[in-house]
Amino acid sequence: MKMMEQGSVLIVMVAALVIPIAMARMKVSSIPTAVAEIITGIILGKSVFNIVHTNGMLTLMSTLGVIMLMFLSGMEIDFDLFKRGPEKKQDGPNPVQLAGQAFGLVIITAAVLGLVLRSLGLFSDFFLATILFSTVALGVVIATLKEKEILGRPAGQTILLTAVLGEVVPMLSLTFYASLNGGDAKRLWLIILLFLAAIILLRRFKQPYIWFSRISKATTQLDIRLAFCLIFVLVTIAETVGAENILGAFLAGMVMKLLEPTEATKDKLTSIGYGFLIPFFFIMTGVKLNLRALLVHPQALALIPILVACFILAKLPAMLVYRRRFSNRNSFAGSFLVVTTITLVLPSLTVARNLHAITANQSDAFILAAVIVCLIAPMVFNSVYKLEKADLIKQRVVFVGTNTFTVPVAQQLSKNWYSVRMLTDNQDNYKTFNSEVAELAYLPTIDEESLQAGNYFDTDIMVICFPTDSKNARLAKIAKRAGVGRVIAGQNDPGRGESRVRGLKELGIEIYNRFNVHISVLRSLIETPSILEMLRDTEAGLFEAVVRNPNIIGQELHTLSFIDQITVSRIYRNHRPISPHGDTVLEAGDHLIFTGERSAAEEARRQLRRRG
C-alpha cells in the first residue's frame, strides 16, 4: 500500500515536470499551465487511466498548493492603484472606478443567472451559483496581460482590478456562505479577528522585515521564513474563527506585499509555489474528477454547456463599462478575459462539497465548464485585443525646467513612445522652445500648489533641471512626497552641497550632474572614438533593462537567444557593478547595460523585462 502511495506521488511529480516542457516543445502558449495540469490530472486519474490515487500525502500537498496559490494571488495586488491621486481630465474615468462599476454589473448578472438556473430546476443553490459565476482567475489574467505587455497600461490596470475584485469579493462571500451553511453563523463576527491579526502582523513586521533583509544569509533565508510564518499564522487564525484557510492565505499575501519584498524574495516565493506546491493542487483536481460517472448522468452532462454559457454571460456586461474609455473591440476582449475562472472555483466547490451543498456530479460539471472557459478566454483575448496609443506609451515623463539640455532629450523620448510634458517658469525660455516641444507649459511660479493643480505629479518620472541646485532639491522632495515613482534632480555642484545630495539619495531621489556627464562622454570619445557615432545614431544607443523574466533568471549570459544582437557592457547587481562574461549567471533584479541596434535592443529589453 505504501509503495502505491509513493508511486502516485512520483507520477504527479514527473507530470508536473513534463507538462511545461511538453508545452514549450509543442509551442502551446494560449493554454494556461493550470488548465494543462488539470487536463493531465483527468488523464492520470479515475476518468481515464486510473494510475494516480488520492492518498494522505497528495491531499496534504494539494492543500498546501491551494494555500500557496492564494498567498501568491494576494501578493499580486498593486495597492498603488487604489491610492487617490490627480487624474487627467482627458483620460476619462480612472481604472479603479471602471473596475468597480464593471464588477458591480458582473455581480448583478451572476445573481440573475443564478435565479434563472434555480427557476429551471438545474441548480438550486442561488448563492453558490452567484459566487461561482462572479469569480475571476487572477493568476491567469495577470499572466495573459503580462504576455500582451499591457499590465501597467490603463486597459491592463482596469482588467487587473476587475480580476482582483473577482477574487476578493467572492472569497469573502464564500467565507460567509460556509459559515451560514455550516451552522456557524453566530461566529461570523469572529472573522473580524482575522483582519485585525493581519493588520497587527503588518505593523509589527514592517521594521523587523527591513532588518531581516540586512542580516539574512543563504542558509537562513529569513524573508522566506517570514512569508511562511505569515501564511500559517493567518491560516490557523482563519480556521479557528470559522473562516476558510484560503482567505487567511490571501490576507497573508496582501500583508507580504505591503512589506515591500524585494524582487529576489518574490521570485523565490513564486518558484516555491509554481515550481513545487501549486502543480499538486491542479493535477489532483483533475485526478479527482470522475468523467465516467458524469457521462452516465445525462442531466449533469447537459449542465456543462449551460454553465459555460453562464460563465461567459456573467462577465460580458463589463464591456458596457469598459466602452466608456476603450474601443469597442478592446472592451469586448477585456470583458472576455475576465471570463477566465478556475483558481477560486476549485476551492469553492471543495467547500460546497464538504457542506453537502452540491453533488459530486454537479461539482465535476462546474469544474469542466471552468476548464473550458479557461481554454477559450485567453485565446479570444489574444486574437481580438489590439494595442491602442495608450498601450504603446512606455512611460510618462515630466521635465520641470526647459533649456538646451532638457529639450533635445524630451524630443528624442517623444519619438520613442514616451509621453512627455514640460514646464518652465522662464517666459523667455517658453517663447524660445514652445514651437519645438509638443506639450510645454509656462507657470509664473513652480511650487507644490501649481504642480498639483496642473496634475504634474501624475507621472512615472519627473526630471527637475534648473541651474539652482537648492531649487532642484526642494522641488524633488515635494515630488517624492507627492508619490512620484522616480524623481531625477540635477545637482551641478554637489561638492558644495554634499550633505544635501546625501539626503536626497536617502529619500530615493536620483542625482545627475551635467559636468560629470560631459567629462564621461569626452573621456569615452578619447578612449573609444566610435562612441560619438553611437551617440549620434538614432537607430543605435545605450540601453538598460532589469531582469524580470523567470525563464531568463538563472541562465548564463551566452545562452540568451538574442545575445548575438547586443553587447552587454556592465551588470549592476544590488547596486554594485560587475563585469559580465559569457558564463555570468543572471539573477532577478540585475540591471543590464548594453548597446545594439534599436530594434534588436528593444526586443532584448522586452524579453528581459517580461514577468513570465
Indicate the pTM of the whole model.
0.66
Contacts of 526 (CB under 8 A, 6+ apart): none
**Once rounded to an integer, what is the mean pLDDT over residues 585-590?**
85
CATH number, position 357: 1.20.1530.20
pLDDT value at residue 223: 80
Local confidence band at 60 (pLDDT 50, 70, 90 cut-offs): very high
CB atoms within 10 A of CB 581: 11
Q: How far is CA 230 from the centre of its chain?
A: 21
Q: Which of 388, 403, 434 is the last residue of a domain?
A: 388
Q: How many domains does one find in the chain?
A: 3
* Terminal-to-terminal C-alpha distance of the chain: 40
Q: For the residues of 411-425, what is the DSSP string, one character each?
A: HHHHHTT-EEEEEES
pLDDT value at residue 288: 84
Strands 440-442 and 419-424: parallel
Residue length of the chain: 612
Q: What is the dihedral of CA 520, 526, 528, 530, to 10 degrees?
A: 100
- Are residue 20 and residue 115 in the same domain, yes or no? yes
- Are residue 500 and residue 567 in the same domain, yes or no? no
Least confident of 42-46, 51-55, 311-315, 561-565: 561-565
Judged against a pLDDT cut of 70, whether residue 412 lies above it is answered with: yes
Average pLDDT, the chain: 82
Q: Which of 373, 388, 403 is the last residue of a domain?
A: 388
- Are residue 471 and residue 592 in the same domain, yes or no? no
- Are residue 308 and residue 405 in the same domain, yes or no? no
- Are residue 508 and residue 545 in the same domain, yes or no? no
Q: Which of 363, 388, 413 is the last residue of a domain?
A: 388
Q: What is the dihedral of CA 554, 558, 559, 565, to 10 degrees?
A: 120
Q: Residue 273: inside a domain, yes or no?
A: no
- Are residue 18 and residue 134 in the same domain, yes or no? yes
CB atoms within 10 A of CB 529: 9
pLDDT value at residue 379: 84
Judged against a pLDDT cut of 50, whether residue 88 lies above it is answered with: no
Q: Residue 148: inside a domain, yes or no?
A: yes
- Look at residue 489 and give its three-state secondary structure: strand
Q: Residue 85: inside a domain, yes or no?
A: no
pLDDT value at residue 612: 52
- Are residue 429 and residue 374 in the same domain, yes or no? no
Q: Residue 314: inside a domain, yes or no?
A: yes
**Once rounded to an integer, what is the mean pLDDT over residues 241-251?**
80
Q: Residue 86: inside a domain, yes or no?
A: no
CATH number, position 504: 3.40.50.720
pLDDT single digits (tens) 132-185: 999 998 777 877 787 677 776 778 888 988 988 898 888 888 878 877 776 565
Domain that holds residue 287: 2-73+94-187+279-388
Q: Residue 525: inside a domain, yes or no?
A: no
pLDDT value at residue 90: 43
Q: Give the residues across from 489 on adjacent strands.
A: 464, 511
Most trustworthy range by pLDDT among 98-107, 248-257, 270-279, 583-592: 98-107
Cβ atoms of 571 and 547 within 8 Å: the answer is no
- Are residue 30 and residue 129 in the same domain, yes or no? yes
pLDDT value at residue 317: 95
Judged against a pLDDT cut of 90, whether residue 595 lies above it is answered with: no
Q: Residue 337: inside a domain, yes or no?
A: yes
- Are residue 443 and residue 477 in the same domain, yes or no? yes
pLDDT single digits (tens) 448-468: 999 988 889 988 899 999 988
Cβ atoms of 69 and 343 within 8 Å: the answer is yes
- Are residue 139 and residue 60 in the same domain, yes or no? yes
Judged against a pLDDT cut of 80, whether residue 493 lies above it is answered with: no
- Are residue 498 and residue 404 in the same domain, yes or no? yes
- DSSP secondary structure code for residue 274 in this structure: I
Q: Measuring CA to CA, how many Å separate 501 from each of 475, 484, 486, 508?
A: 13, 19, 16, 11
- Are residue 598 and residue 489 in the same domain, yes or no? no
Strands 540-546 and 591-597: antiparallel
Q: Residue 248: inside a domain, yes or no?
A: no
CA dist 38 and 51 (Å) reads 15
